[in-house]
């Protein structure tokens, strides 16, 4: 009786969360569908050569970004997997994790500080007597930024696949005296080939839906994507019918990529590099050692130089004046409130979606509700923030209630965008707790808040802290939703940063980027510390 009641309560919680999530996604999509213009206006938009240029560029830059990320990541991952122990390995692994939590706008400013026309490379060229200036705006800049974000992701996936290769393979290859080319052909490439399609599909989707990078580094209509075109149609041209058609085209592309991703997806646990990889003997040759050192140092430099650029550029700004400005303080407070609301909402939604696992046998038996929850958490990836924002923009614009509902809309969109990440962090941990303690809790009648306090929270403190930190970081650095709904009375720190950058107040932008970077790092450290803190007896 109690067990069935518990299962019913869990099913009800998950069903309510699913209904709420689908409703929050379906409402803006319905608004877009209802706002589709007549056949004449739609034909004008579809027949516009610029629209198809933007669509082609969206796919082309995503393809090139994925290709370059893979070509960079494979040798770095091989070197990282081959070098089980070396000074600074743990630091390098942490460095490769930073781009995953770094706001795109902050990273873009770091890239500009290195590759921009007044960046470190340009200054070095001037000091050397050369008039060369790098042109970072356009396709080149977009590729630089996308590789910065996605190469570390592919390294994590590929390295984990290599480090799951049985140790007997490496022993046998050493006993047979296999040269590196043979090891690559017979051992490494088969392992990489198993994860590469899914990793490439994931990176392609992230680049196809990239918004902030293209908005800042695109440099003009020649290097624009569909998401930026939607933003321009709503904010600059005030042409909702055009934005609706562009949103439908973007939705078709993301849905197609998502279907491919579902077929080629890699299990989430492959995204973590084991801390104790199997020691290999094929890296003792001088040529191999030199190869590995080169790629590891190159990867470290590629990731660390923009981060150093953010710090040095930010320290050159008048931080005391910035932090005492009323506009900055108001934007900071707004960002913190939105991030807290977003994180709580995302965690509550994820926790509700996890509840049907309590009714499965040991947390392993799949049922329609658990499968639906898993699919729903991923389906949000189909609808980028700009499309959700465009839908709510079309719904709220006629009533003149945009400014009233803007904070709630931005918080909801950011929470929905956090769900795939919080789900993938909490679902394996929740399943493991259910497998280990679910049956005992059912026999002892430990349910509800008692189970949360005595069992779930002590065992899931660390993944909950990580999930909270990810959702906080994603919300604090978001520029997708706020770009549509931001105003003089509603500004977040990223939106204020973008405004200062657009008005050529680069010193202020650098200082705000450093403040945002420091804030996110503090929150990440606090979340990790909370997760690792042992529960007092």
pLDDT, tens digit, 9 for 90 and up, residues 393-423:
888 877 777 778 889 999 999 998 888 888 8
Whether residue 146 contacts residue 213, with contact meaning beta carbons closer than 8 Å, is answered with yes
Per-residue pLDDT tens digits for 371-391: 777 777 766 667 778 888 888
Placement of tokens 């209509």 in the chain: 221
DSSP 477-496: T--TTHHHH-BTTB--HHHH
Which range has the top average pLDDT, 56-70, 76-90, 485-499?
56-70
**pLDDT above 90: residue 146:** yes
Alpha carbon distances (Å) from 51 to 222, 227, 242, 249, 406 = 11, 11, 10, 10, 28
The CATH class of 1-34+316-537 is mainly alpha
Predicted confidence (pLDDT) per residue in 307-340, tens digit: 999 999 899 888 889 889 999 999 999 999 999 9
Tell me the H-state helices in 102-239.
104-115, 120-127, 139-163, 167-175, 180-183, 189-208, 212-217, 226-235
Residue 232 has pLDDT above 90, yes or no: no
Residue 245: how many CA atoms within 13 Å on its side-chain side? 20
Find the angle CA(472)-CA(233)-CA(335) to the nearest 5 degrees. 20
Question: Average of pLDDT values for 157-173?
Answer: 78
Confidence of residue 40 (pLDDT cuts 50, 70, 90): low
Q: What is the pLDDT of residue 41?
A: 65
Q: Which two tokens stand for residue 452?
A: 């949360």
Q: Which among 369, 368, 467, 481 is positioned nearest to 419, based on CA atoms?
A: 467
Helix and strand counts by DSSP (H, E) for the chain: 24, 0
Helix (H, G, I), strand (E, B) or coil at 136: coil
Please determine whether the domains at 1-34+316-537 and 37-310 fall in the same fold group of CATH: yes
223-232, 269-278, 349-358: segment of lowest average pLDDT: 269-278
pLDDT at 341: 93
pLDDT one-digit tens code per residue, 15-33: 888 888 888 888 888 888 8
Give the separation between CA 110 and CA 107, rounded to whole angstroms.
5
Place of tokens 């290097």: 223
Q: Quote the pTM value.
A: 0.80
What proportion of the chain, given as a percentage, has pLDDT over 90? 18
Q: What are phi and psi of 165, to 5 degrees?
A: -65, 130
**Residue 367 pLDDT > 90, yes or no?**
no
Question: Confidence class of residue 283 from pLDDT cuts 50, 70 and 90?
Answer: low
Residue 484: the pLDDT is 84
- Residue 531 reports pLDDT greater than 60: no
Averaged confidence pLDDT in the chain: 81
Please tell me the distance from the alpha carbon of residue 7 to that of residue 14, in angstroms, as a whole number: 11
Contact 519, 476 (CB under 8 A): yes
Domain locations in the chain as residue ranges? 1-34+316-537, 37-310
Tokens representing 520? 């996110």
Q: Which residues pair with 490 in a beta bridge?
A: 487
User: Would you state the pLDDT for residue 266?
Assistant: 47
Under CATH, what is the fold of the domain 37-310?
Answer: MetI-like fold (1.10.3720)
Q: What is the mean pLDDT of residues 434-460?
A: 77
């Amino acid at each position: 009786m109690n067990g069935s009641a518990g299962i019913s309560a869990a099913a009800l919680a998950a069903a309510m969360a699913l209904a709420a999530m689908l409703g929050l996604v379906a409402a803006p999509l319905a608004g877009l569908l209802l706002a589709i213009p007549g056949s004449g206006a739609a034909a004008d938009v579809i027949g516009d050569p610029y629209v198809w240029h933007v669509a082609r560029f969206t796919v082309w830059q995503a393809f090139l970004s994925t290709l370059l990320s893979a070509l960079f990541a494979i040798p770095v991952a091989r070197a990282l997997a081959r070098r089980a122990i070396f000074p600074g390995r743990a630091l390098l692994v942490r460095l490769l994790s930073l781009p995953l939590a770094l706001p795109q706008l902050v990273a873009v400013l770091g890239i500009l500080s290195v590759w921009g026309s007044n960046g470190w490379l340009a200054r070095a060229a001037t000091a050397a007597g050369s008039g060369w200036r790098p042109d970072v705006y356009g396709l080149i800049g977009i590729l630089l930024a996308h590789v910065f974000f996605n190469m570390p992701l592919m390294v994590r996936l590929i390295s984990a696949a290599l480090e799951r290769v049985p140790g007997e393979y490496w022993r046998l290859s050493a006993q047979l005296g296999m040269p590196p080319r043979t090891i690559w052909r017979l051992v490494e490439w088969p392992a990489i080939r198993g994860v590469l399609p899914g990793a490439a599909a994931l990176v392609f989707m992230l680049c196809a839906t990239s918004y902030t990078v293209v908005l800042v580094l695109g440099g003009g209509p020649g290097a624009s994507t569909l998401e930026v075109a939607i933003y321009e149609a709503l904010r600059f041209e005030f042409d909702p019918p055009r934005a609706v058609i562009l949103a439908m085209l973007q939705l078709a592309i993301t849905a197609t990529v998502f279907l491919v991703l579902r077929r080629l997806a890699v299990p989430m646990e492959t995204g973590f590099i084991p801390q104790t990889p199997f020691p290999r003997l094929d890296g003792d040759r001088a040529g191999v050692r030199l190869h590995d050192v080169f790629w590891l140092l190159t990867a470290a430099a590629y990731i660390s130089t923009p981060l150093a650029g953010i710090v040095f550029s930010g320290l050159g700004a008048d931080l005391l004046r910035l932090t005492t400005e009323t506009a900055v303080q108001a934007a900071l407070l707004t960002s913190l409130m939105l991030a807290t609301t977003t994180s709580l909402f995302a965690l509550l939604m994820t926790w509700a979606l996890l509840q049907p696992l309590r009714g499965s046998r040991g947390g392993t038996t799949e049922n329609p509700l658990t499968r639906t929850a898993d699919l729903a958490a991923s389906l949000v990836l189909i609808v980028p923030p700009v499309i959700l924002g465009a839908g709510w923009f079309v719904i709220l614009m006629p009533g003149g209630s945009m400014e009233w509902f803007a904070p709630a809309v931005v918080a909801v969109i950011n929470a929905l965008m956090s769900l795939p990440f919080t789900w993938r962090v909490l679902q394996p941990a929740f399943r493991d707790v259910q497998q280990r303690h679910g049956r005992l809790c059912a026999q002892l009648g430990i349910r509800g808040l008692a189970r949360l306090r005595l069992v779930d929270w002590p065992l899931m403190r660390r993944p909950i802290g990580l999930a909270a930190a990810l959702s906080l970081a994603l919300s604090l650095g978001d520029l997708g939703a706020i770009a549509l709904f931001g105003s003089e009375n509603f500004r977040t720190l990223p939106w204020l940063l973008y405004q200062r950058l657009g008005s050529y107040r680069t010193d202020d932008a650098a200082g705000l980027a450093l403040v945002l970077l420091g804030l996110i790092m503090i929150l990440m450290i606090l979340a990790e510390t909370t997760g690792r803190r042992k529960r007092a007896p």
